[in-house]
Structure 1
């Protein structure tokens, strides 16, 4: 049976790639974008199986109206892929108030509004799957992406909590946590800070050098089969890392965290009183 999938941020990158993969296998897709012309090719190829919708996830009222349109058009929503988001590049001190607020507004509050809008539909159905595109930087951090890291840490806490609140209703949640991929996430979709504090030059240089590593960036098309596996699984994971950089990096991070927890066990217990 084909699924009804609602996906945000479908104009490019993962969103467009996954929307096309879903359509190719016969699913029906409600695809949102700020610029609907970016979806013209999919509409021409897949006709009524795709519902293109303009959406700014920062506009809560528009989010709820869009979800209502999707439900009325397709009759249900089986899967939400909360994909809209971007990154602010620059050190934390150099990030402006506007950049910081807009980063959180899109990555965190945008995900919150879409989740809140879809949940009544899923509750009524007593079924559904919320797939939130997070990042391995919602589990650990790297310099030069402080506000992006923070937004994804917030998203991780949000969706994990939602999962615990709705599991008894037959609703599943999954956090997809990619490392870097060769999309335009670090290019045209990114925002750069403009301040240039000399003390941070070594950090900037090290960050730029790491990005030049030939094996740093994953192939976006390699994510298609894993995503479909998650959607089709009767018991999907709560979290799933995408990419070997994410996998090996998080193994090291969690090993070190467990060492610290165990080394300071006596102090932690004593702090209880």
Structure 2
């Protein structure tokens, strides 16, 4: 019996490519999209194994109805890929609270609500795999993407905790952390602060401009990323975190080296914050 995938954010980018590859591999798949017309061509090509569900993860009624529709069609959900998300550019000071909160609703709170809707199914099955698409920016942050990174740092911590809670129930959890891929993330999928502050011209503004100008020329290949995600799902020993892209590999390792050096440099001060040894057990 083919395992059932539920992939969100399938209108474009990695989500759309993943949906195509999953279906081509013979799996059943539910394609979540705010506009199902965006994926009707894929569903038409796989009428027996694919279903499109209307899903805006900020709308609880759509979360509930999409899961019910999938259960009605396939009777189960084995793999949930939380891929839907948006970006936002601006220095911390320039960023608009309304836009930042909206991004958190999509990238974090909406994802968490959907996951909670699917978890009872996986618990009943005693099996499942949840894959949360984070970012290398969940591990390393840069100017102009501070609040976006905050959503992904939050998601990384959430993912690690969830993995420890559900592992005894037969459910796997993986954070997928891509670097720059040729998707719409740096283009139409990311808003930016409308007002700029001159003092951030050399930091936030410069990095935002660089990212925007590189859109469509990124090193990451969505097709290869999708193959990697399928490999993780089919693996007997799925990782807690999977980095995707050379830039992610280098960025994460650079961060680890720098963190280790700083932690060691301040080790005496860190440990000295405890009570003295003779007082610890009093």
TM bin (shorter chain): over 0.9
Secondary structure of the 2:46 match is helix
Q: Work out the CA distance in 2 between the residues paired with 1:233 and 1:107.
A: 26
Q: Work out the CA distance in 2 between the residues paired with 1:32 and 1:232.
A: 22
Shift of 1:37: 0.6
Query: Which residue is 2:250 aligned to?
Result: 248
Q: Work out the CA distance in 2 between the residues paired with 1:207 and 1:100.
A: 16
User: Relative to structure 1, is the Cα distance of residues 133 and 210 closer, same or farther in structure 2, using a 3 angstrom cutoff?
Assistant: closer
If the length of structure 2 is used for normalisation, what is the TM-score? 0.93
CA contact under 8 A between 2:90 and 2:208: conserved in structure 1?
A: no
Query: Which residue is 2:234 aligned to?
Result: 232
Shift of 1:227: 1.1
User: Relative to structure 1, is the Cα distance of residues 135 and 71 closer, same or farther in structure 2, using a 3 angstrom cutoff?
Assistant: same
Unaligned runs of 5+ in 2: 276-282
Q: Work out the CA distance in 2 between the residues paired with 1:38 and 1:210.
A: 26
Q: Work out the CA distance in 1 between the residues paired with 2:32 and 2:245.
A: 26
Pairs within 5 Å for 1:186-197: 186-197=186-197
Pairs within 5 Å for 1:29-40: 29-40=29-40
Question: Deviation above 6 Å: which 4+ runs of structure 1?
Answer: none
If the length of structure 1 is used for normalisation, what is the TM-score? 0.96
Q: Work out the CA distance in 2 between the residues paired with 1:271 and 1:56.
A: 46
Secondary structure of the 2:80 match is strand
Secondary structure of the 2:48 match is helix
What is the number of residues matched between the two proteins?
273
Q: Work out the CA distance in 2 between the residues paired with 1:222 and 1:125.
A: 30
Secondary structure of the 1:40 match is helix
Shift of 1:40: 1.3
Shift of 1:206: 4.5
Query: Which residue is 2:261 aligned to?
Result: 259
Secondary structure of the 1:165 match is helix
Q: Work out the CA distance in 2 between the residues paired with 1:261 and 1:114.
A: 37
Q: Work out the CA distance in 2 between the residues paired with 1:264 and 1:58.
A: 42
Query: Which residue is 1:59 aligned to?
Result: 59
Shift of 1:95: 1.0
Unaligned runs of 5+ in 1: none
Q: Which sits farther off after the overlay, 218-227 or 205-214? A: 205-214
Query: Which residue is 1:108 aligned to?
Result: 108
Shift of 1:106: 0.5
Query: Which residue is 1:165 aligned to?
Result: 165
Q: Work out the CA distance in 2 between the residues paired with 1:211 and 1:106.
A: 21
Secondary structure of the 2:47 match is helix
CA contact under 8 A between 1:107 and 1:152: conserved in structure 2?
A: yes
Larger Rg: 2
CA RMSD for the aligned pairs?
A: 1.5
Query: Which residue is 1:78 aligned to?
Result: 78
Secondary structure of the 1:176 match is strand
Shift of 1:233: 0.6
Shift of 1:202: 1.3
CA contact under 8 A between 2:186 and 2:211: conserved in structure 1?
A: no
Pairs within 5 Å for 1:1-273: 1-203=1-203, 204-209=205-210, 216-273=218-275
